[in-house]
Each structure stands twice: as structure tokens, then as C-alpha cells.
Amino acid sequence: MARSAASSTRVFTRFRAHSVLPGFNLAMGFTLLYLSLIVLVPLSALFFKTANLGWGGFFAVLGNDRVLASLRVTFLTSLAAAVINAFFGLIVAWVLVRYRFPGKRIIDALVDLPFALPTAVAGITLATLYAPHGWIGQYFAAQGIKIAYTPLGIVVALTFIGLPFVVRTVQPVLEDVEAGVEEAAASLGAGRWDVFRRVIFPAIYPALLTGFSLAFARAIGEYGSVIFIAGNMPYISEISPLLIVSKLEQYDYAGATAIAVIMLLISFALLFSINALQWWTSRRGVR
């Protein structure tokens, strides 16, 4: 039985020389069917719904002050969180790759916590910590700075959920920077800062940018961790995903869909630039 199967595949290879392995039709068929049913058909519903709305209706939703304000809040807080994560993420990656200290393995594992901790849990915990009487919030409250229930709180939540991205993209690249290059630069008289600026940073820069974009993209769509700490004041601390939910609760499907399409287009643009960035990085790596 097995032998006849093998010989038949051998005959088959004369027609399709590229593979002797079986199962392509089954695997590919299932992949396409599942992808279509779960992802493509539902997502296309979004665009058909918007098409029903027409350009006029679409721009009427978009031109709304509250919608624009929510997009601005979402965009700016995500950007701030991604910048914070790029800066501290670089330091964390550096420390994890270059230095030895007790507890390093636990710290390394802990970096992935935001991937594993449900967003709602993160949301209620951060809101409790950064509230005016919370463990952290009280010190800021004493200085007259309110964090929870303001846009600052949103930045805190988005920093939390985006934390692993920069660390995890920069870490492997930093590990691959050859000590020999650094030694050569140093022995030619470069100071430590020059070595970092001229040798190490150019090598890790694309990874840093990728990590930044991933953190930014994730923050744009985030909902669960933000709504507990944001205060959700229209025009001030209301994020776009929340506005989608409130429109749905008022049965305003068209309005919800229009905002969703805008967010989806922003995400696609980001996904596209991340892919382009990774393509550019891998080409640079080949040299």
C-alpha cells in the first residue's frame, strides 16, 4: 500500500516537478476555507456596510467633532506610549543582553507579562494603582498631577500593553552585533558613546523602528486595558474603540462601522509599513 502510494507520487512528480510531498490540496483547501469563513468574509462585511453608507454618510460620521476628538486622543496617546516604550525598551534590551545581574532570567520572562495578562485585569489593576489614592497615584496627586481618569492614564495603560514589543524586537539583533566590530572601532580610538552611536545604533535602528511600530499599532486598537483607567470623557479621554462600542449600544451600526473602517485602514497602513521595514531589514542583513 505504502509502496504503491510512493510510486504514484513518483509518477506524479513528472507532471509537477516541484514537490513529491502529499497533502497540498487538502492543507491549502482547508487553509483558504477557514481563512475565508473566519476572517475574510466577516471583514468584508465591514466594507459592504460602509459602501451602503455612501461617501456622504461616511464623511458625515468622520467629520463629527466627537469622532475626530476620539481619533486624536487615540493617536496621540498611542504615539506617546510607543515613544516611551522605544526609549525604555531599548535600555531594557541593552541591560538584558549586555549585563549580568541576579534575577535576570526572571526579569527576562516577566517582560512578556503584557502578552499573557488579560487586558481587563491590567486595566482594573493600573486604574487602582494610579488612582489619586492608589500606591503610585498618591505621589503624583501630592504634586497636583492626576493620572488615572485623564489622557495620562491612557498613556500608562498603552505603555503597559506595548512594553514587550521593542524589547523583543531589539534583543535578538543586539545579541547578533559582533563584538569584533565594536573592538575594532574602540581600538581605532572611538569612545564608548561613539561606538554606540556609529556602530551599534545603526545595526539595531531598523529593529527599534519595527518594535516602535508594533507597539504603536497595538496601542491604536487597544480597548480592554484603557477603558478602566481613561475616565472616558468625550472629547478629552474617549478613545475610538470605546466610541465604536457606545455607537453599537445605541444601535448606530453605520456610525460604528465608519469609525471601524477608519481604524482598520490606519492599522493596514501600519501593518504594511512594518512589513516593508522587515523586508528592508532582512535585505540589509544579507549585504
List the interface residues with other proteins, window 49-68 (CB under 8 A). 49
Nearest CA among 218, 233, 212 for reference residue 122: 218
- Does the protein bind other proteins through residue 2 (CB under 8 A)? yes
Tell the residue number behind the cell numbers 513528472, with chain if given.
14
19 SS3 class: coil
Span of 59-67, 138-146, 229-237, 268-276 interacting with other proteins by CB under 8 A: 268-276
- Does the protein bind other proteins through residue 273 (CB under 8 A)? no
- Does the protein bind other proteins through residue 286 (CB under 8 A)? no
- Does the protein bind other proteins through residue 244 (CB under 8 A)? yes
The Cβ of residue 155 has, within 10 Å, a number of other Cβ atoms equal to 22
- Contact (Cβ atoms closer than 8 angstroms) between residue 221 and residue 209: no
- Does the protein bind other proteins through residue 182 (CB under 8 A)? yes
Q: Which residue of 69, 141, 248, 277 would you call a contact of other proteins, by CB under 8 A?
A: 248
By CB under 8 A, what part of segment 159-178 binds other proteins? 159-160, 163-165, 168-169, 172
Per-residue b/e over 47-71, b at no fewer than 16 CB within 10 Å? eebbeebeeeebeebeeeeebebbb
d(CA 235, CA 64): 11
Least distance in angstroms from the C-beta of 264 to other proteins = 6
Least distance in angstroms from the C-beta of 18 to other proteins = 5
Specify the residue, 59 or 268, whose C-beta has the smaller distance to other proteins.
268
Q: Quick one: angle between helices 151-176 and 65-98, nearest 10?
A: 40
- Does the protein bind other proteins through residue 214 (CB under 8 A)? yes
Span of 59-67, 146-154, 229-237, 269-277 interacting with other proteins by CB under 8 A: 269-277
- Does the protein bind other proteins through residue 276 (CB under 8 A)? no
Q: How many residues bind other proteins (CB under 8 A)?
A: 102
By CB under 8 A, what part of segment 67-126 binds other proteins? 88, 91-92, 94-96, 99, 101, 105, 107, 109-122, 124-126
CA torsion angle 166 168 170 174 (round to 10): 150
- Does the protein bind other proteins through residue 39 (CB under 8 A)? yes
Specify the residue, 73 or 214, whose C-beta has the smaller distance to other proteins.
214
- Contact (Cβ atoms closer than 8 angstroms) between residue 182 and residue 199: yes
Least distance in angstroms from the C-beta of 286 to other proteins = 16
Least distance in angstroms from the C-beta of 36 to other proteins = 10
User: Which residues have C-beta within 8 Å of that of residue 235, sequence separation ≥ 6?
Assistant: 65, 66, 69
Q: How far, rounded to the nearest angstrom, does the alpha carbon of residue 258 sit from its chain's CA centroid? A: 22
- Does the protein bind other proteins through residue 233 (CB under 8 A)? no
- Does the protein bind other proteins through residue 34 (CB under 8 A)? yes
